[in-house]
Amino acid sequence: MEIRTAKLTDVEQIQKLINGFAEEGLMLARSRHMLCEHIREFKVYEDDGEIKGVGSLHILWDDLAEIRALAIDKNYQRKGLGRMIVESLLQEAKELGVPKAFTLTYQPEFFARLGFQSVNKDELPQKVWQECLYCIKFPNCDENALLIDVNKKDGELTPPGKTVF
């Protein structure tokens, strides 16, 4: 099973997956325009012709990227798919020469399992808050900030034994 770069023909299904969780308050909703404009940042997992997992790597600066818009279909969760997508995004960060990646999330335990470490949000550069301007909670963000050193051994994230894909 394969994680691949997203295509414009995936946009409708990516939006449905992300915005379903956004309605539950778990993540930020994305417009069709945003998804098209940033499609090259997205990786997806497709099964039976449907997008079952998605995540994106957004470059913010020459030393920092954000893992964002991560969503796994409820029927595909806890099978290692989220880990596979994040690892694929971190591998891309590594190839691009971005040393650090962070995420803002309500799922800190998941990212901690992958080697991310909690950081104080105030320690992140201001550029990080670009997308937050569109969040209904801004400026009262209650998400957790976690950071990973992309080049660190722990950050290489060897394939998990539990992955069933």
Indicate whether 105 belongs to the interface with ligand COA (CB under 6 A).
yes
Indicate whether 107 belongs to the interface with ligand COA (CB under 6 A).
yes
Indicate whether 81 belongs to the interface with ligand COA (CB under 6 A).
yes
Shortest spacing between CB 74 and ligand COA, in angstroms: 8
The contact mask relative to ligand COA for 18-57 (x = CB under 6 A, - = no) is ---x----xx------------------------------
Cα separation, 25 vs 127, whole angstroms: 23
By beta-carbon distance, which residue lies closest to ligand COA?
A: 82
Question: Residues with Cβ < 8 Å from 16, sequence gap 6 or more?
Answer: none
Indicate whether 58 belongs to the interface with ligand COA (CB under 6 A).
no
What residues form DSSP beta bridges with 92? none
What is each CA distance from 38 to 6, 28, 62, 118, 126, in whole angstroms?
A: 10, 15, 18, 27, 21
Evaluate the CA torsion angle 20, 36, 135, 142 in order and state its sign: positive
The residue ranges that bind ligand COA (CB under 6 A) are 21, 26-27, 70-72, 77-83, 103, 105-107, 109-110, 113, 160, 162
